[in-house]
Structure 1
Amino acid sequence: MMSPNTTQQPLTLTLGHLYPDQLNLYGDRGNILTLRRRCQLRGIELRVVGLGVGDALAPDEYDMLFIGGGQDKEQAPVADDLHEMKGIGLWAAIEDDMPVLAVCGGYQLLAHYYRPAEGPDMRGLGVFDAWTEHKGTKVPRCIGNVAISWNGQTLVGFENHGGRTYLGTAKPLGKVLKGNGNNAEDQTEGAIYRHAYGTYLHGSLLPKNPHFADHLIELALQRKYGDRAITENDLFNGNHTNKAAEIGATVLELQKTTVSPLLTPLEDSLEWEAHASMLERLGLYSEAATILRTHKS
């Protein structure tokens, strides 16, 4: 373990924000603000680089990637650019276990295809073994607050999508507790491939789900720094015990806690109150009570 007096370069992460001008519905940019703030409070610098249409994606230059949602008319040029300019780099990043968060339209474009209500299919990258079909303008959209189970906990957010996504072999992000999820039919929400996460949860997602935000940050730190990130984050927060042993905890033990084994916990009472309030609105009173009881203690 490093001595408390050891001087090290500060931890830094670089996030590539794909299509910040085209895909930014329902305050999805708030996800990036949350990641930046949660890093800052731990002495970690998060650099954000916008990648628009025409920009290449060099995977070695980034540690995390984010792509938000947009309207159908905005997704068409993005779909073309994903294949022509960013597809190879994005695939390389995902196969190298870079954490990626794709919301709504971004999620759809990382599956096989999106079939809009009008016009030709938009070809996706096929990262997720899934596809999306719009049932037509006469079919009600999937709109409203939504809660899902994830990793033994809950995620909350807001969804608004006309397309219905169906999973092939892709693993869902979670099971719908209340709301529509992927298609309002099979209780699945989102999709996972390696460390890439697709979801319909706007809200923004990460401000009301600090545990998921920390999960993405932790994946990025572990991938870039390994045990050095564990030790330096402890030193920054005045805790000089070696946390590396905690990483050896069983998966079951980790699922029973909302505290990351790597990142020092933050004062998240407001975030958890917002999370619990959403659960209460959806009638999930037991889950809301558990959240408040856990985080007050």
Structure 2
Amino acid sequence: MTQSQEAPIRIGHLYGNLLNTYGDNGNLLMLQYLLKKRGLNYQTEVNSLEETLSKDQYDFILFGGGQDFEQSVVAKNLPSKALALKEYIESDGVLLAICGGFQLLGDYYITAAGQKIQGASLLNHYTERQDNHRFIGDITIHNDEFNEDYVGYENHNGMTFIKEPVKSLGKVISGNGNNGQDGTEGARYKNVFCSYFHGPLLVRNPHLADHLIDLVLKRRQEQA
């Protein structure tokens, strides 16, 4: 079969009707554009509060960010999907989490108002808050794995601290990153990529989107 005739790549937009702050849906549009450019078929669906999730349901998952209210709603529903997400992640499923999605994959995050929101504890990180301050502005980081830079825009009150075996997505060249202290930005674990970048991330960094697609295709081949 030619690539265009193969089974479509299944894309799941996790809580996509609730978490799409700062146009994070643009990450999905960029991924779809590059898949089409490669002659690859795809199908996309929103998986939200009413839908179930299984570990083999998708080839790629986007977990975006939202305001604190929407994220608190998602946090209450997330335990129903946590086991499937854990199995998906541990089996090298490709997942991109932005801002709130990044925070919710960790142990917990503290909102700007001081409320503690429990995360899914799927990645080893946690998020504290800043008092009357946000990290806002352009940011550039360097990713050692691919030896390339990523540019974006950050706007977050949270201060995220990652711990082993989680690695950062990149080292901060300019900007604040996860917490403004340790020079890290985002997170990387297996085929999970997390970032505070809005912009959106993949639109401004299509080379990263290409890496995600390569990982999706590699995993599909290994599972065939």
Query: What is the TM-score with the length of structure 1 in the denominator?
Result: 0.71
Shift of 1:121: 1.2
Alignment pair present for 1:67 and 2:92: no
In structure 2, the partner of 1:185 is 181
Report if aligned partners of 1:176, 1:187 keep a CA contact under 8 Å in 2.
yes
Distance 1:103 1:117 in 2: 18
Instruction: Say if 2:143 is the partner of 1:147.
Output: no
CA offset digits 1:30-76 (Å, max 9, x no partner): 10011111001111012111011132111212101001111111110
Aligned residues: 220
Q: 1:227 to 1:43 in 2, by over 3 A?
A: farther
2:125 is aligned to 130
| Structure 1 unpaired stretches of 5+ | 1-5, 229-297
- Verify the 8 A CA contact 1:173 1:189 in the aligned structure 2: yes
Write the letter of the residue equivalent to 2:176.
N
1:172 corresponds in structure 2 to 168
**Higher-helix-fraction structure:** 1
- 2:204 maps to a residue whose letter is K
Q: CA deviation at 1:11?
A: 5.0
Q: Which amino acid aligns with 1:26?
A: Y
Q: Which one-letter code corresponds to 1:207 in the other structure?
A: V
> Structure with the greater relative contact order (CA < 8 A, sep ≥ 6): 1 or 2?
2
2:107 maps to: 112
Match of residue 40, structure 2, among 41, 44, 51: 44
Alpha-carbon distance in 1 for matches of 2:214, 2:17: 27
Mapped to 2, the partners of 1:94 and 1:7 lie a distance apart of: 28
Superposition deviation, residue 115 in structure 1: 1.2
What TM-score do you get using the length of structure 2 for normalisation?
A: 0.93
Shift of the 134–119 alpha-carbon distance from structure 1 to 2, 3 Å rule, reads: closer
Alpha-carbon shift at residue 117 of structure 1 (Å): 2.8
How far is 1:225 from its partner?
A: 2.2
1:17 is matched with 13
Aligned pairs for 1:86-97 (under 5 A) are: 86-97=81-92
For the residues of structure 2 that align with 1:92 and 1:199, how far apart are their CA atoms?
A: 21
Larger gyration radius, structure 1 or structure 2: 1
State the distance in 1 between where 2:214 and 2:31 align: 11
Amino acid at match of 2:45: V
Contact 1:11-1:44 at 8 Å conserved across structures: no
Any unmatched runs of 5+ in structure 2? none
Q: CA RMSD in A?
A: 1.7
Aligned partners of 1:67 and 1:180: how far apart in 2? 22
Q: Which residue of 2 aligns with 1:194?
A: 190
Q: Is the 8 A contact 1:143 1:158 kept in 2?
A: yes
CA deviations 1:63-122 (Å, max 9, x no partner) are 010011111111101011111x21111111101101100000000000110012325311
Distance in 2 (CA, whole Å) between partners of 1:165 and 1:227 is 34
Deviation by residue 1:144-168 (Cα, 9 ceiling, x = unmatched) = 1111001211011111000110122
1:179 alignment partner AA: G
> C-alpha separation between the residues in 2 aligned to 1:184 and 1:119?
19
Instruction: Work out the CA distance in 1 between the residues paired with 2:46 and 2:75.
Output: 17
Segment drifting more, 47-56 vs 104-113: 47-56
Residues 19 and 66 in structure 2, CA contact (< 8 A), matched pair in contact too = yes
Q: What SS does the corresponding residue of 1:59 show, helix, strand or coil?
A: coil
1:10–1:43 Cα contact (<8 Å) kept: no
